[in-house]
A and B are shown apart, each in its own frame.
Chain A
Amino acid sequence: EDKVVQSPLSLVVHEGDTVTLNCSYEVTNFRSLLWYKQEKKAPTFLFMLTSSGIEKKSGRLSSILDKKELFSILNITATQTGDSAVYLCAVTHFGNEKLTFGTGTRLTIIP
């Protein structure tokens, strides 16, 4: 059974700080890892990673995957209050379309 562990469970930082969120996984026949942002509603897609060492970037957010060590990180630079949310990591494996989610990291940005 696929397993996803995120750390830290929660994080409180001041506006302007840089944060790093962690996601480790155990997946048989790994296919991809996805990051989602969830505010007080539905998760919204951020990134999908399939290859090691290739950084995906969108504005102040970036993410990278290490398939050898089985983890991914999500970086957010110059944080803003609008970044406050739960960040979810999920994985997929070949042969099935299901996403297996971690429990998420709750990020709070203090003005």
Chain B
Amino acid sequence: DAGVIQSPRHEVTEMGQEVTLRCKPISGHDYLFWYRQTMMRGLELLIYFNNNVPIDDSGMPEDRFSAKMPNASFSTLKIQPSEPRDSAVYFCASSTRLAPPLDTQYFGPGTRLTVL
């Protein structure tokens, strides 16, 4: 079974541009998470969805960030406008509480974002 799929794997953009990151969770998983990882702050949760509904977005830095999950197999994280401090690796993860091991989240390969 395919794992979590993210695209693109690398993104280089200029300050002020819009960036869209994409994620396909593991089939059958009903939770989807977006994380950001930096050297300074480590791995931080931005937002998570349950059955396509946003549950906790308290980690979203500011209004420049938005996330959607239009269906069970696709989610996007958008940054508009992007800033150099947004440079980080963005991970998508998915999980389910319908089968053990519960609480275990499976991570995608990440998108390395560089904003110049």
B52 shortest CB reach to chain A, Å: 14
Tell me what chain B mostly uses at the interface: helix, strand, loop, or mixed.
strand
Q: A98 touching B33 by the CB < 8 A rule?
A: yes
B18-44 vs A, Cβ < 8 Å mask (1 yes, 0 no): 000000000000010100000000111
Q: Which of A42, A45, A101, A103 contacts B104 (CB under 8 A)?
A: A45
Task: Give complex CA distance A92, B56 in Å.
Answer: 14
A-B contact count (CB 8 A): 52
Contacts of A101 in B (CB 8 A): 42-44
Contacts of A42 in B (CB 8 A): 91, 107-110
A33 shortest CB reach to chain B, Å: 9
Residues of chain B from 57 to 116 with CB closer than 8 A to chain A in the complex:
91, 95, 97, 101-110
B45 within 8 A of A: yes
Contacts of A32 in B (CB 8 A): 102-103
B55 within 8 A of A: yes
B75 shortest CB reach to chain A, Å: 15
Task: Give complex CA distance A38, B76 in Å.
Answer: 24
User: Which residue in chain B gives the minimum CB-CB distance to A6?
Assistant: B42
A31 within 8 A of B: yes
Task: Give complex CA distance A42, B103 in Å.
Answer: 17
